[in-house]
């Protein structure tokens, strides 16, 4: 569903990256807020990345950060829109790498198990993903490519 405003469009697809950055609480309440932010960021610029996949993978990253890191420090969500696609990062205060995001240990996780599916989804559905240290902990990220215009759903 899209809404239109009267008057000229305020946003245009940038040639340089445009980014959104927001602090989220270190609770499960962060997950729906993060999903909404990603959907809004992609929709407002009529960006060509797959909104549903971006939302799903963002929810997994945020839920993972809430579940597997301790402390009260907020989680930070960064959404970067580029001409080639989008990158979503979730920053948390724990420097430990995020489990099996890039190299699964002991083979693929059982898809029927309660835990371990989130990182499998991110590895499978993103064009690339990874993690990097930050001054206050780590950032876990994924990238999605643009969806060709002819494959986008018409609104």
Summarised one tens digit per residue, pLDDT across range 83-102 is 888 999 999 999 988 876 65
CATH fold for the domain made of 18-99+116-145: Heat Shock Protein 90 (3.30.565)
Q: What is the mean pLDDT of residues 45-59?
A: 86
Do 52 and 20 touch, CB atoms closer than 8 A? no
Q: Give me the torsion for CA of 116, 117, 119, 123, rounded to 10°.
A: 140
What pLDDT is stored for residue 47 in this prediction? 62
pTM score, whole prediction: 0.77
Round to whole Å and give the CA distance between 57 and 8: 32
Give me the half-sphere count of Cα atoms (radius 13 Å) on the Cβ side of residue 44: 14
| 90-139: pLDDT as tens digits | 999 999 888 766 555 455 555 444 455 678 889 999 999 999 999 999 99
- 107 secondary structure, DSSP code: S
What pLDDT is stored for residue 151 in this prediction? 55
| 4-36: pLDDT as tens digits | 444 444 444 445 568 889 999 999 999 999 999
């Amino acid at each position: 569903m899209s809404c239109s405003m009267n008057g000229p469009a305020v946003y245009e697809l940038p040639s340089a990256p445009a980014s959104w950055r927001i602090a989220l609480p270190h609770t499960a309440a962060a997950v729906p807020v993060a999903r909404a932010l990603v959907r809004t960021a992609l929709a407002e610029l009529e960006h060509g990345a797959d909104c549903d996949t971006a939302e799903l993978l963002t929810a997994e990253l945020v839920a993972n950060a809430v579940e597997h890191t301790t402390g009260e420090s907020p989680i930070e969500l960064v959404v970067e829109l580029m001409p080639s696609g989008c990158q979503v990062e979730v920053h948390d205060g724990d420097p430990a790498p995020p489990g099996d995001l890039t190299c699964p240990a002991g083979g693929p996780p059982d898809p029927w198990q309660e835990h371990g599916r989130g990182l499998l989804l991110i590895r499978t559905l993103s064009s690339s993903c990874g993690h990097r240290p930050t001054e206050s902990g780590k950032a876990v990220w994924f990238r999605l490519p643009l969806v060709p215009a002819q494959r986008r759903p018409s609104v």
